[in-house]
A = this chain, B = another copy of it.
């Protein structure tokens, strides 16, 4: 046992002497002089809204990208601070802030999922409208764009959402566009779930330049190699689309 302990100690020392923290990035307060200056001159206040029955990856993809940006402060806010229950039903995601405590954001991000309850929630919609007045970027992932629409922010604008929800955008006066993400003025809407990663990298480029966006892309090793090619409505087979739609319909009809 003693030799085992020594082995572990040696390993730890070796690892400590090198940079094993491949992705242990916490830039706040740990940057070198140039970045610290940029950070102080150009802080980035990111707010991500969390709610029950949301889809977790919609929020976490952009979070993982944006948190790497020097000077970025990411905060998660829900109607009440504490655990939210996403669409998987697991109590896995925690909001450190209540929306009432958040009065400004440079980047506001609204994730999607089962957004229905949000569309009629006046407190949430008013909070979004108020923050939007002063944001640099108001953004959404997946059906989060429907929430932006319900808040009145997509009138006459091109926008996108999850492939199975595009028609609903018209209800809010938006023109559905089949793109990975769509920028209209300071509003950027992204397609379903995983599209938030692509959108967030483009946000980094807008705020900090392409070199930083490329650095972040490398840090999260975002060199996607999907083992299949059915990630969009136009690429998936009709059978796959029907199977996916059936799952969504059944889940929805049984939930209420």
**Interface residues contributed by chain A, number (CB under 8 Å):** 115
Q: Is the pair B251, A30 in contact by a Cβ cutoff of 8 Å?
A: yes
Q: What chain B residues lie within 8 Å of A127 (beta carbons)?
A: none
Which of these, B68, B94, B115, B226, contacts A93 with CB under 8 Å?
A: B94
Which A219-245 residues have C-beta < 8 A from chain B? 219-228, 230-233, 235-237, 239-241, 243-245
Copies in the complex: 2
Q: Is the pair B224, A231 in contact by a Cβ cutoff of 8 Å?
A: yes
Q: Is the pair A235, B223 in contact by a Cβ cutoff of 8 Å?
A: yes
Q: Is the pair B193, A210 in contact by a Cβ cutoff of 8 Å?
A: no
Q: What chain B residues lie within 8 Å of A146 (beta carbons)?
A: 20
Q: A162 within 8 Å of B by Cβ?
A: yes
Q: A45 within 8 Å of B by Cβ?
A: no
Which of these, B20, B94, B244, contacts A143 with CB under 8 Å?
A: B20
Q: Is the pair A249, B22 in contact by a Cβ cutoff of 8 Å?
A: no
Q: What chain B residues lie within 8 Å of A248 (beta carbons)?
A: 19, 21-25, 219
Q: What chain B residues lie within 8 Å of A57 (beta carbons)?
A: 60-61, 63-64, 220
Q: Is the pair A193, B220 in contact by a Cβ cutoff of 8 Å?
A: yes
Whole-angstrom distance between the Cβ of A254 and the nearest chain B Cβ: 5
Q: A107 within 8 Å of B by Cβ?
A: no
Q: Is the pair A12, B231 in contact by a Cβ cutoff of 8 Å?
A: no
Q: Give Cα A93–Cα B202 distance, bound, in whole angstroms.
A: 26
Q: Is the pair A222, B243 in contact by a Cβ cutoff of 8 Å?
A: no
Q: A2 within 8 Å of B by Cβ?
A: no
Q: Give Cα A225–Cα B211 distance, bound, in whole angstroms.
A: 18
Q: Give Cα A215–Cα B239 distance, bound, in whole angstroms.
A: 9
Whole-angstrom distance between the Cβ of A237 and the nearest chain B Cβ: 7
Q: What chain B residues lie within 8 Å of A254 (beta carbons)?
A: 30
15 contacts across the A-B interface (CB closer than 8 A): A11-B171, A20-B168, A22-B142, A22-B143, A24-B113, A28-B89, A56-B63, A57-B63, A57-B220, A180-B223, A198-B227, A210-B228, A215-B244, A215-B247, A223-B235
